[in-house]
Amino acid sequence: DSGVTQTPKHLITATGQRVTLRCSPRSGDLSVYWYQQSLDQGLQFLIQYYNGEERAKGNILERFSAQQFPDLHSELNLSSLELGDSALYFCASSAIHREITEAFFGQGTRLTVV
């Protein structure tokens, strides 16, 4: 158990819909990362938040948005869903308040768009 909790574990929705994925980081971790992994694809970095502020942005579509709340949990919002958005979405957290740190990943949310 990494200590990072993602909900829901599975999500099935129709094209055009909007969904919200939730991530609770490890206790005390200030940084949250979101990744997308499509079938047979590598892990694609989407976005990083640090203590509520956006810190880095990757290949995140304009239809997607994220935020990190004061209690440090994060949500990834996916709208106008397309079939190609079907993927595993992972959240990770890390401390980054000490010199050397590592990221801990949740077990992911499997999104299926039909």
Q: How far apart are CA 61 and CA 53, in angstroms?
A: 19
Q: Residues 6 or more apart from 57 whose CB is under 8 A from it?
A: 46, 47, 48
For position 92 contacting other proteins by CB under 8 A, the verdict is yes
DSSP 95: -
> In angstroms, how far apart are the furthest CA atoms of the chain?
44
Residue from 10, 42, 53, 71 touching other proteins (CB under 8 A): that is: 42
Residue from 90, 93, 111, 113 touching other proteins (CB under 8 A): that is: 90
Residues 91, 8: contact at Cβ < 8 Å? no
Selected range binding other proteins among 13-21, 67-75, 76-84, 99-107, rule: CB under 8 A: 99-107
Q: Are strands 109-113 and 87-94 parallel, antiparallel or unpaired?
A: antiparallel
Residue from 56, 77, 80, 82 touching other proteins (CB under 8 A): that is: 56
Total number of residues that touch other proteins (CB under 8 A): 25
Residues of this chain that bind other proteins (CB under 8 A): 2, 4, 33, 35, 42-43, 45, 48, 55-56, 58, 88, 90, 92, 96, 99-108
